[in-house]
């Protein structure tokens, strides 16, 4: 947890900072509301803010209102620190978005207890968000979240004139695992395959459980050729070793279909998913445990013959 201490008094800032150091908290301190807002609007923003009311530039109430207008899906917990003691001041601060209120002079024990409460609430919020956006078995992004991410990356790629490879991957003969070793073994295979899928991914690549034994992988910055090469590397990592489960050993090979989005291609999420799915079907038809790349010409020809 990262703490931002916003206090215009240098002496008070040093004193509170010394407490935070002693308690082992990671923190940054600034002396104005304007500096605080810059840090709070950054991607790597603090999680908890200790905020003085009277500040140069933007005051504490202004900063609170700016925090609550930010919509990033992550919550910033705020504790107002002030010499104001009237009940109406507390109501004003809470109305602007403060989560807690502590009167000056600050009692170190009281401050630490408020930070601990804030930390506990943030951890709960993060765990609830993780549960809402991730598949409970594999801990990968769930279907709805990976599709939202795909839409976001398509839009970003169009804006920044960038490409993105899209890989739809399916575990071969997964039903056979369930039928011979049981569903508990199948769950172990899913978890291990999910782990292997992430081994070679870059920090900004995305992978989600698309459904059943299917996975969707997004590789921003990769064109079709590079995406196919990456897909084959991932496939090799997955099938290199059998999966050992408490119920027996299972093989884990994958078939993959690859397509790519770019600024020049004005397609929807469903269009790209259809292309990846058609390529995945080709990989299955040609013997499984392989990568097939979407080709407009090949599928137009096949559709014409049909």
Residue 272 lies in a domain: yes
Q: Does an H or E element contain 2, and which?
A: strand 2-6
Residues 106, 147 within the same domain: no
Q: What is the pLDDT of residue 122?
A: 94
Range of the domain at 116: 2-132
Instruction: Judge if 102 and 151 occupy the same domain.
Output: no
Contact 215, 137 (CB under 8 A): no
Q: How much is the pLDDT for 43?
A: 85
> Same structural domain for residues 85 and 123?
yes
Q: What is the pLDDT of residue 90?
A: 87
Question: Which residue among 132, 167, 184 closes a domain?
Answer: 132
Are residues 154 and 103 part of one domain? no
Is residue 246 situated within a structural domain?
Answer: yes
* Phi, psi of 114, rounded to the nearest 5 degrees: -65, -40
The pLDDT tens digits for 233-249 are 999 999 999 999 999 99
Q: Look at residue 295 in the predicted model and tell me its pLDDT.
A: 85
- Rounded Cα distance between 52 and 60, Å, is 6
Q: Using N-to-C axis directions, what is the helix angle for 60-69 and 33-40, rounded to 10°?
A: 10
Which of the residues in the chain have pLDDT under 50? 301-306
Which of 102, 132, 162 represents a domain boundary (last residue)? 132
Residues 6+ apart with CB under 8 A from 234: 167, 169, 196, 197, 200, 201, 217, 256
Q: In this structure, is residue 138 part of a structural domain? A: no
Looking at the fold, whether 17 and 103 belong to one and the same domain comes out as yes
- Exposure string (b/e) for 34-65, b if CB count within 10 Å is 16 or more? ebbbebbeeeebbbbbbbbbebeebbbbbbbe
pLDDT at position 70 is: 84
Check whether residue 163 and residue 301 sit in a common domain. Answer: yes
Question: Domain end: 83, 107, 132, which one?
Answer: 132
Can you tell me the distance from the alpha carbon of 139 to that of 234, in angstroms, rounded to the nearest whole number?
Answer: 18
Query: Per the structure, how many domains does the chain have?
Result: 2
Q: What is the pTM of this model?
A: 0.77
Residues 175 and 216 in one domain: yes
Please indicate, yes or no, whether residues 148 and 80 belong to a single structural domain of this protein.
Answer: no
Active site residues: 213
């Amino acid at each position: 947890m990262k703490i931002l201490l916003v206090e215009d008094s240098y002496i008070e800032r040093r004193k509170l900072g010394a407490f935070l150091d002693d308690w082992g908290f990671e923190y940054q301190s600034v002396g104005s509301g304007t500096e605080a807002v810059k840090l709070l609007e950054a991607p790597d923003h603090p999680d908890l803010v200790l905020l003085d009311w009277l500040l140069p530039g933007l005051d504490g109430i202004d900063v609170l209102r700016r925090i609550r207008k930010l919509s990033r899906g992550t919550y910033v917990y705020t504790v107002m620190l002030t010499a104001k003691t009237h009940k109406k001041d507390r109501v004003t601060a809470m109305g602007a978005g403060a989560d807690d209120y502590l009167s000056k002079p600050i009692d170190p024990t009281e401050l630490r207890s408020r930070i601990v409460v804030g930390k506990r609430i943030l951890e709960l919020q993060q765990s609830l968000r993780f549960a809402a956006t991730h598949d409970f078995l594999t801990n990968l992004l769930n279907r709805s979240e990976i599709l939202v991410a795909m839409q976001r990356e398509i839009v970003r790629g169009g804006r920044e004139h960038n490409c993105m490879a899209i890989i739809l991957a399916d575990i071969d003969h997964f039903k056979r695992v369930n039928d011979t070793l049981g569903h508990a073994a199948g769950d172990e295979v899913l978890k291990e395959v999910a782990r292997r899928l992430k081994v070679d991914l870059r920090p900004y690549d995305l992978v989600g459980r698309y459904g059943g034994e299917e996975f969707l992988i997004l590789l921003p910055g990769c064109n079709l050729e590079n995406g196919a090469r990456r897909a084959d590397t991932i496939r090799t990592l997955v099938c290199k070793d059998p999966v050992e489960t408490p119920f027996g050993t299972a093989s884990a090979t994958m078939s993959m279909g690859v397509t790519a989005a770019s600024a020049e291609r004005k397609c929807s999420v469903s269009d790209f998913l259809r292309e990846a799915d058609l390529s995945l079907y080709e990989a299955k038809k040609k013997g499984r445990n392989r990568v097939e790349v979407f080709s407009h010409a090949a599928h137009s020809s096949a559709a014409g013959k049909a």
